[in-house]
Amino acid sequence: MRSSRSLEVWKMGIVNYLEALKLQENLVSLRKAQKIPDTLLSLQHPPTYTLGKRRTDHNLLIPESELKSLGAELYYTQRGGDITYHGPHQAILYPIISLRDIGLGARKYVEKLELTMIELSSLYGVDACAGKKGETGVWVGDKKIGAIGVRISSGITSHGLAFNTDPDLNYFKHIVPCGIADKEVTSLRREIDTPLPSEDVIDEQLISCFARSFGFTTITWKENCSLPSD
């Protein structure tokens, strides 16, 4: 008989990147100590560029001093991958889950994150797939619709995925997304002919796809999105 697994979801709206980073670090510590259950942060960021551990400086195509004129910020992180963009109208999931508890290795974990975004795309008739060798994330043909950058510490995950619902794609023109040159970026809005539902609906669909991909049978929604007291 299949065991029941529960996922706690925090729906947070638009959150500053550094605040989200600090929250993830705190939640990872609590998850390692088994003080919280597997947790999923669902949020968006203001316009933000982030560089991962595989960063290459020339993949930022404009001087850092010009980012402020774009209304964007730049942060260096410890996640995997190169440079990417986060912004409004992009659905972001940061899982804080124990891979040991669910019996997954790093490669399988990333594959299931890919599957999450592929399944969401399929709900709208968009044929997405995982990238070829050297092409991270999820693609529609030669256009990238979803990015993945993860960190795993003592079997606990952080960072995660970003799915382009309807972001301003002009921000991607200032970087080489994930270090992959000569490839376009797309969005769900650009790939379908019909109007999109509300972002809340899409976020909940993405969360449901995530839960199915990872075998979570129960989703609980956290109303007061603050850390538990000691």
SS3 per-residue string spanning the chain: CCCCCEEEEEEEEECCHHHHHHHHHHHHHHHHCCCCCCEEEEEECCCEEEECCCCCHHHECCCHHHCHHHCCEEEECCCCCCEEEECCCEEEEEEECEHHHHCCCHHHHHHHHHHHHHHHHHHCCCCCEECCCCCCCEEECCEEEEEEEEEEECCEEEEEEEEECCCCHHHHHHECHHHCCCCEECCHHHHCCCCCCCHHHHHHHHHHHHHHHHCCCEEEEECCCCCCCC
Is 86 annotated to bind ligand? yes
**Cα 72 to Cα 115: distance, rounded to the nearest angstrom:** 30
Is 160 annotated to bind ligand? yes
Is 202 annotated to bind ligand? no
Active site residue 209: no
Is 85 annotated to bind ligand? yes
Element (H, E) at 92: strand 90-96
Is 134 annotated to bind ligand? no
Is 100 annotated to bind ligand? no
Is 175 annotated to bind ligand? no
Is 82 annotated to bind ligand? yes
Is 5 annotated to bind ligand? no
Residue among 129, 178, 209, 225 flagged as catalytic: 178
Return the sign of the alpha-carbon dihedral for residues 111, 116, 120, 122: positive
Is 79 annotated to bind ligand? yes
Is 141 annotated to bind ligand? no
Is 162 annotated to bind ligand? yes
- Binding site feature residues: 79-86, 147-149, 160-162
Catalytic residues: 178
- Binding site feature residues for substrate: 79-86, 147-149, 160-162
